[in-house]
């Protein structure tokens, strides 16, 4: 049994708890979920029968280090929290109903893939990537570190998603395009041309509406 703590006890954190329980039911590898940590929820609050153990500082104070998983989708938050917790183990968590039977699929540590996602072949998923429910990832796609794909996102073949990109629910990216670092793609967008770094792009076709640091 591998002890594990979920970072974030909000809606996605609770979904990650269910994901781990479904992995436990269907695979030889078993996790013992110790609880959640969350900066915004009072210590000892019960969330789906598990305790909030404290905040991020609680983890830093632990002598015996459990494994950790991100139960939050914000690339910026994942990156900032990881900077404080570099010595911890972050396992890869893949729901049993994810299709990863193609050849040459790499999945980096701390990445999490939810139920119903299909990943074809020759795909690189870097570290700390979150792929939510029912996404599709086509051949030769690369998903950069800390990036997050919300439910039902479609990434076509040979797409490059750079570091810390957030793609809103139902968005589609057509083949051979690049989405630049730190960019946010709005829910339902159709990305038909590459997008630069540090922008928020929405619509069909997706166009930048603002730039941020």
Ligand X SMILES: CC(C)(COP(=O)(O)OP(=O)(O)OC[C@H]1O[C@@H](n2cnc3c(N)ncnc32)[C@H](O)[C@@H]1OP(=O)(O)O)[C@@H](O)C(=O)NCCC(=O)NCCS
Q: Using the rule CB under 6 A, which residue among 147, 178, 182, 200 binds ligand X?
A: 200
Q: How far is the CB of 93 from ligand X (least distance, A)?
A: 17
Of positions 36, 125, 186, 191, contacts ligand X by CB under 6 A: 186
Query: Which are the contacts of 33, defined by CB distance < 8 A and separation ≥ 6?
Result: 4, 5, 6, 17, 20, 21, 50
188 belongs to the binding site for ligand X (CB under 6 A): yes
Q: Does 77 bind ligand X (CB under 6 A)?
A: no
Kindly tell me which of 151 and 196 has the beta carbon lying closer to ligand X. 151
Site for ligand X in 147-166 (CB under 6 A): 150-151
> Where in 25-64 is the site for ligand X (CB under 6 A)?
none
Q: Is 209 in the site for ligand X (CB under 6 A)?
A: yes
Q: Is 183 in the site for ligand X (CB under 6 A)?
A: no
**Helical H segments across the chain, by residue range:** 11-26, 56-61, 75-84
* Paired residues of 118 in beta bridges: 99, 136
Beta-sheet strands, E only, within 19-134:
31-37, 46-47, 50-54, 67-70, 93-94, 105-107, 112-113, 118-119, 123-125, 130-131
Span 163-182, contacts to ligand X by CB under 6 A: 168-169
Residue 98 in contact with ligand X, rule: CB under 6 A: no
Other C-beta atoms within 10 Å of 138: how many? Answer: 20
Residue 206 engages ligand X in binding (rule: CB under 6 A):
no
């Amino acid at each position: 049994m591998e002890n594990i703590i979920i970072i974030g006890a909000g809606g996605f954190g609770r979904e990650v708890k269910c994901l781990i329980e479904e992995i436990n039911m269907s695979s030889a590898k078993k996790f013992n979920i110790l609880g959640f940590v969350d900066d915004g929820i009072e210590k000892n609050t019960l969330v789906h029968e598990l305790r909030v153990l404290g905040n991020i500082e609680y983890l830093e104070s632990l002598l015996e280090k459990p494994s950790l998983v991100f139960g939050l989708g914000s690339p910026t938050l994942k990156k900032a929290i990881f900077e404080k917790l570099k010595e911890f183990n972050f396992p890869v968590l893949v729901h049993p109903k994810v299709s990863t039977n193609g050849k040459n699929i790499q999945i980096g540590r701390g990445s999490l893939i939810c139920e119903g996602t299909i990943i074809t072949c020759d795909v690189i998923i870097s570290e700390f990537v979150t792929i939510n429910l029912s996404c599709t990832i086509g051949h030769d796609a690369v998903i950069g570190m800390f990036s997050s794909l919300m439910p039902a996102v479609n990434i076509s073949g040979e797409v490059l998603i750079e570091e810390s990109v957030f793609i809103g629910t139902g968005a589609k990216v057509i083949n051979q395009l690049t989405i630049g670092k730190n960019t946010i793609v709005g829910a339902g967008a159709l990305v038909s041309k590459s997008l630069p770094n540090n922008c928020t792009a929405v619509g069909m076709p997706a166009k930048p509406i603002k730039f941020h640091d």
